[in-house]
Amino acid sequence: MSKLLEVGKLCAWYGATQVLYDVDFSLEAGHITAILGANGAGKTTTLRALCQVVKTSGSVVLDGTQVVGKSTESVVRMGVAHVPDGRGTFTGLSVEENLRLGAYARGNKAEMLEDMERMFTRFPILKQRRHQQAGTLSGGEQQMLAISRALMLRPKLLLLDEPSFGLAPLIVAEIFRIMRTINKEDHVSMLLVEQNASLALDLADHAYLLETGRVALSGPSDTIKNDESVRRAYLGY
């Protein structure tokens, strides 16, 4: 298995406040990897650091290319799609315009239309709502739109920040089922940040546990799931 992403000694700051301290991890191509941790552990910041949205130092190598120092736009154009916390929907634009924007960096209209049809097959509700203003969608629909928009990039790596946040359990199950399908069928590698540890560990192949900006534990999901301390602290049994 080749490494899609290798992260070494990654540090990140908000202004003068350091949030990540020498984080090391790597992602296998085609896998789903989860980052777990409590509030403020640095999960969201890790994703933001990969996209160069926050000030970072260290090394992030995607497919052999160094990412640190590039602009966010350039990282996206290398094939990293980010579904940020709060979903990053363009609320004033229509569902269809949101999807078109997802493929903006690729600039290929024929493929864009083709992908849009695929998204509509996968999420039929979005097709019904295609001319509706995205801000009027329900939370679950907006999450589906956010994932679809990210997939419109045909990403090498999909970064997902708390896709379960604020959604009803049934919707969450639906979204996680679709994510698994996308991973299996389209071979999109994913890096998933979740507070809901049991949900994330069921989906992911591999997991990292962050504690106050440092990697505390890592391993295959099954190992992590059975780790005594993780079970007590994050899974609650």
Q: Summarize as ranges the residues that interact with other proteins (CB under 8 A).
A: 51, 53, 71-73, 76-77, 81-82, 84, 88-93, 97, 100-102, 104-105, 107, 149, 153
Q: Which is nearer to other proteins, 161 or 194 (CB)?
A: 161
Q: Which is nearer to other proteins, 21 or 90 (CB)?
A: 90
CB of 30 to other proteins, least distance (A): 23
CB of 149 to other proteins, least distance (A): 7
Rounded to whole angstroms, the Cα distance separating 128 from 187 reads 27
Q: Which is nearer to other proteins, 73 or 186 (CB)?
A: 73
Rounded to whole angstroms, the Cα distance separating 131 from 145 reads 13
Task: Write down the residue that tokens 């295959």 correspond to.
Answer: 220
CB of 197 to other proteins, least distance (A): 26
CB of 225 to other proteins, least distance (A): 31
Q: Which is nearer to other proteins, 92 or 236 (CB)?
A: 92
CB of 132 to other proteins, least distance (A): 16
Q: Of 82, 86, 49, give the one whose Cα is nearest residue 68.
A: 49
Give Cα 73 to chain centroid, integer Å.
Answer: 16
Helix%, strand%, coil% for the chain, nearest 5: 40, 30, 30
User: What is each CA distance from 188 to 9, 79, 95, 170, 179, in whole angstroms?
Assistant: 25, 11, 23, 24, 9
Q: Which is nearer to other proteins, 33 or 52 (CB)?
A: 52
Q: Is 198 left (phi over 0), alpha (psi -120 to 50) or beta?
A: alpha
